[in-house]
Amino acid sequence: MKKKLLIGTSVVLVAGASFYGYRTMTDNKNRQKAVDSFVSDLKKQNFDDYSQLFSKKSLEDYTLTNKAVKERYETIFGSIGVTKVKVTNLKDEKYGKKNYRLTYNLELTTPEGVIKPEKYKAIYSKSNNGKFEFKWNSYLIFPGMEATDKVSLQNDVVERGAILDRKGEPLAENKEFEQIGMNPSQLGDDKKEALKEISEAIDTPVDKLEALLEPEWTKGDVFVPIKVLDDKQVEALKDKLPRGTSLASKTQRYYPLGKAAAHLVGYIGQPTAEDLDKNPDLDETTPIGRMGLEQALDNDLRGKNGLSLVITTAKGDVKKTVFKRKAVEGKTVKLTLDREAQQKAFDSLENKPGAMVASQPKTGDLLVATSSPSFDPNQFITGMADKEYKALSEDKHLPFLARYANRYAPGSTFKTITAAIGLDAGVIKPEEALPIDGLKWQKDKSWGGFWTTRVKEQPTVNLEQALVYSDNIYFAQQALKMGEKTLMDGLAKFPFNKETTLPIPMEPASISNEEKFKNDILLADTAYGQGQLMITPLQQLEMYSVFMNEGNLITPKLIEDAKTEKTDGIVSDKSAKIVLDDLVGTVANEDGYAHNLYQPGFNLAAKTGTAEIKEKQDTVGTENSFLLFLDKDKSQFMGLVFSEDSRKNGAANEKAKVLVDYLEKNYN
């Protein structure tokens, strides 16, 4: 009997020991799983899962929820741009009878550098449901924090740098505006009617106003911003503000030239979610460049806001600075542009499709780069109504298109380059006159129905006459004499298929769709500026600079402190001078095509040009008009005027006088 009892007791003891060993092994696995999750979620910044590791009771002791912990970590780590979390010196040990303690060093990497590693500790234990849960404590955010302490983000907001013209006059600046906003507590009982009145007064849809009032903070006696107003809007509303609204001052971006420099200067706007994902330096409150120089030079202009992450006591005293990023002021950028010349050029285009560019050819300083029609960038700052934006985006004249940076066939202004290449090759001789009969010509019957035409009939034509009276037949015949290789070799010295160094987006200039001309027709067509040539007005200005620089090419520049780039020997000094001298007659001769620009005592050289775009021969196509003008004697300025569809909108030379007169007066 005793023996049986002993055996029974042994069985119970063995079973109990087995159960205890199994439970211990399970606990160890669960414990390790909790520790692994804690470390992994922290390193991955997976704060949703991380916040679930804490016991409900420990969170309640701090009047917190799992969601609040998650949001707190996301706000702190997100604000300082934590890109990497490194956990080192991890130790897991028994802590008292029922608790365990995890100690570790936490190193946070941010765009500003690594935050000095600190030693952390986390207490955890087994809960009644068998899970291991961590005990929340403030020092888990930052060591040394107490229950009553707070983490505070302090911003040092910098001002966006200005964009100035060559004389220091603003093209983009920060200006104080009046902003209209709603006070929800003053909208009255009939809120819908009040919102309708506001909507009609400031041209803002009711649904947008309702959306502004949705956030929790917009309840009660607060100012809810709606939009920034321009001076005219303020004047109109000053004595009759809609019910529940008031005005407040706000500093905003302002563009003094408005439409005249819209494409070049651009405008700013709030960053999108995609922008924020791509650039950790951005934040939701700081505008970024959306177009033009505001976009191209955004990093310099925007600067960087300063940021301090501090631990404060209940009284608001700073207890510890965890992170500090110094503010970098936005840089003011000074351009080579002449604000007054820009305005005069834009006004001269009279809102018709076209562009004007001008420069100082010795330095490459761009004085003018304007495009028409245009838009007012200030509307993007004060708030453009949907119907206004729709009207602009659907306008057939494309007001958002920067025509000075858009490629076109250059037309007859390009004959200057063909002439210089022919002179250098010895094919064109200045005094040699070619006999030409009639107003149209073709090489032979192989050209079929294609004819090269000219406007002025002369029995013999030399180089000067061909340039002054823009004789297409002369240049077609000279191109065939040169042959494809000579012309192509000469053109290869110019900046074709080359990316621009200007902070202005544009496609490279191109000669033809393929490496070689398909036939003699394309060779002849190219010689007088048509064919498949595609060159922007800015690129033309660069190419024609050889005639003002002894055959050397000067690359345009827009930033005042940028270096002047020169490429020597594009054409010979002798050939450049011959062409330049021959262009004087275009202005000086009474029957010259740009005689309207003639000023006694001033030696202005010029070349007019047209490029016709049509589907087939013997039809009238759309004609674009160009004017190249050059200060022959002092080389202080040169420019190019472009008029799109000139049969409807007027020739380029008709639009140039105000700008030319200004440059003659101020740049000599």
Amino acid at 88: T
Element at 195 (helix H, strand E): helix 191-202
- C-alpha torsion sign, points 264, 270, 272, 273: positive
Instruction: Look at residues 122, 113, 116 and name the one whose alpha carbon lies nearest to residue 90.
Output: 122
Q: Kindly provide the b/e burial profile for residues 197-218, where b requires at least 16 CB atoms within 10 angstroms of the residue's own CB.
A: bbbebbebeeeebeebeeeeee
- The burial class, CB within 10 Å (0-12 / 13-18 / 19+), for 44 is exposed
In whole angstroms, what is the distance from residue 472 CA to residue 455 CA? Answer: 9
Pairing of the two strands 84-95 and 99-110: antiparallel
Instruction: Look at residues 479, 575, 586 and name the one whose alpha carbon lies nearest to residue 531.
Output: 479
Cα-based distances in Å from 284 to 277, 292, 297, 379: 11, 21, 19, 21
H helical segments located in 242-310: 262-265, 273-278, 292-296, 298-302
- The burial class, CB within 10 Å (0-12 / 13-18 / 19+), for 390 is exposed
Say which of 199, 348, 359, 412 is annotated catalytic: 412
Pairing of the two strands 333-334 and 163-164: parallel
Residues 136, 152: contact at Cβ < 8 Å?
Answer: no
Residues 288, 303: contact at Cβ < 8 Å?
Answer: no
H helical segments located in 333-454: 339-348, 378-382, 386-393, 415-425
The three-state secondary structure class of 499 is coil
Query: What residues does 452 pair with on adjacent strands?
Result: 441
- CA contacts within 13 A on the Cβ side of 95: 16
Neighbours of 636 (CB within 10 A): 16
Name the DSSP letter for residue 122. E
**3-state SS, one letter per residue, for 302-362:** HCECEEEEEEECCCCCEEEEEEEECCECCCCEEECCCHHHHHHHHHHCCCCCEEEEEEECC
What is the total residue count of the chain? 668
Which residues are within 8 A (CB) of 649 and not within 5 positions of it... i.e. 6 or more apart? 352, 353, 354, 643
Residues 482, 541: contact at Cβ < 8 Å?
Answer: no
Phi, psi of 409 (to 5 degrees): -65, 130
In whole angstroms, what is the distance from residue 213 CA to residue 225 CA? Answer: 10
In whole angstroms, what is the distance from residue 130 CA to residue 95 CA? Answer: 18
- The answer to whether residue 412 is catalytic is yes
Could you list the beta-strand ranges (E) of 374-488.
434-435, 440-441, 452-453, 460-461
In whole angstroms, what is the distance from residue 109 CA to residue 308 CA? Answer: 15
Instruction: Look at residues 106, 43, 111, 45 and name the one whose alpha carbon lies nearest to residue 80.
Output: 111
In whole angstroms, what is the distance from residue 135 CA to residue 492 CA? Answer: 74
Catalytic residue IDs: 412
